[in-house]
Amino acid sequence: MVQKSRQMDISEKHIAAWDFTTGILRWRLWAYLGVQDIRQRYRRSSLGPLWLTLGLGVTILGIGLLYSQILKTPPGTFIPFIAISLLAWNFLSTVVTESTTAFQAGAGLISSVRVPYTTFVLRCLVRNLIVAAHCIIPVVIAFVYYKYPVDVVALAALPGLVLMLLNMYWLALCLAMVCLRYRDVAQIVIYAMQLALFVTPIIWQPSQLRAGTPFLAFNPIYHLIELIRAPIFEHRVPLASYQFSAIMLVVGGAITALVFNRFRRDLAYWI
C-alpha cells in the first residue's frame, strides 16, 4: 500500500488558490455533477433537454418570421441571425441566472465535506454547455434551410467561445458569492437580464444602430455574444469585442480573485 501523506493546514492563507487549482484538477467531480444534472432532466421525461431544443426551434421560427417583417429584413438572413443570437444569449443568461444559486445548490456538500467551491461554478458551466450543445440542432437547421453561407472565418468562434467561457467563469463565481451573502441580489440579476435582452442586439441587428453608439461599445453582453456570432454570421473576426472581453477578463477576473481570496473562508458560514 502506498502511503500518501499530504500536509494540510486548514488555516492556510492560500485556501483560495487551493480552491481554484483543485477545483479544476478534480474535473471528474464537476463533469460528473454537470452530466448528472442533465441526466436528471431526462429522467421521467420523454424528451428531457430536447424540449429546450424544440423550444428554441419554435422561438426562432416565431420571432424570426414576425420580426423579419417588423424590422423589414428578409427571413433568409434574419432567421439564421436570430438563431445564432439566441443560442449564445440563452447560454449566457442561463449561466448568469443559475450562478446566483450555485452555492446554495451545493449547500449540502459545502457544509459536510472539504470541497473546492469553484466546483459548483464549473458544474453550472458544464451543465449549460451540454444544454447549448443540444440547442445547436435548430441553429444548424436554420442555416442549412436558408442556405446561409458560412466560411472558414467561422472557426474564429472557437477561441471566441473560450474567451467567453473564461469571462463567464469569473462572473458566475462573483455572482455566486455575492448572492450567497445578499439573497436579494439574485432578484436584481434576474431583472437586469430581462433588461439586457431588450437593450442588446439579440432580436434586432447591431447594424440597425448607429456605429459606435455607447449602447454597443460598452455593452459587455453584446461583446460576449459577438465573439461567437460575428465569425459565423458576418464572416468577420470581431477585434473590438476581443479587446473588450480581454480587458473584462483581466479586470473582472482580478476583482473576483481578490474577493474570493478574502471571503473564501467565510462562505461556509453564509450557507
Positions in the binding site for another protein (CB under 8 A):
1, 4-11, 15, 22, 26, 28-29, 32-33, 36, 40, 43, 108-115, 181-185, 188, 265-266, 268-270
For residue 264, the minimal CB distance to another protein (Å) is 8
- Closest contact distance (angstroms) between CB of 51 and another protein is 19
Q: Which is nearer to another protein, 158 or 266 (CB)?
A: 266
Comparison of 17 and 185: residue with beta carbon closer to another protein: 185
How far is the C-alpha of 48 from the C-alpha of 268, rounded, in Å?
33
What is the nearest approach in angstroms of another protein to the Cβ of residue 112? 4
Is 46 strand, coil or helix? coil
Residue 102's region, left for phi above 0, alpha for psi from -120 to 50, else beta, is: alpha
Which candidate, 236, 96, 88, 91, places its Cα nearest to that of 179? 96
39 vs 236, beta carbon nearer another protein: 39
Of 183 and 236, CB closest to another protein: 183
For residues 91 and 256, give the distance between their C-alpha atoms in angstroms, rounded to a whole number. Answer: 21
Please give the Cα distance from 73 to 67 (Å, whole number): 8
Separation of alpha carbons 228 and 242, rounded Å: 10
> Least CB distance from residue 10 to another protein, whole Å?
4
The answer to whether the beta carbons of residues 94 and 168 sit under 8 Å apart is: no
Nearest to 124 by CA among 175, 185, 182: 175
Instruction: Indicate the residue among 8 and 195 with the shorter CB distance to another protein.
Output: 8
Q: Which three cell numbers stand for residue 107?
A: 449547500
Q: In degrees rounded to 5, what are phi and psi of residue 179? A: -75, -20
Check: CB of residue 123 under 8 Å from CB of residue 103. Answer: no
Q: How far is the CB of 125 from another protein (least distance, A)?
A: 17
Which DSSP letter does residue 156 get?
G
Nearer to another protein, 113 or 211 (CB): 113
Question: Least CB distance from residue 37 to another protein, whole Å?
Answer: 10
Query: Shortest distance, CB of residue 23 to another protein, whole angstroms?
Result: 11
Closer residue to another protein in complex, CB, 29/230: 29
Give the span between the Cα atoms of 105 and 13, in whole angstroms.
26
CA-based nearest residue to 84, from 227, 198, 216: 227
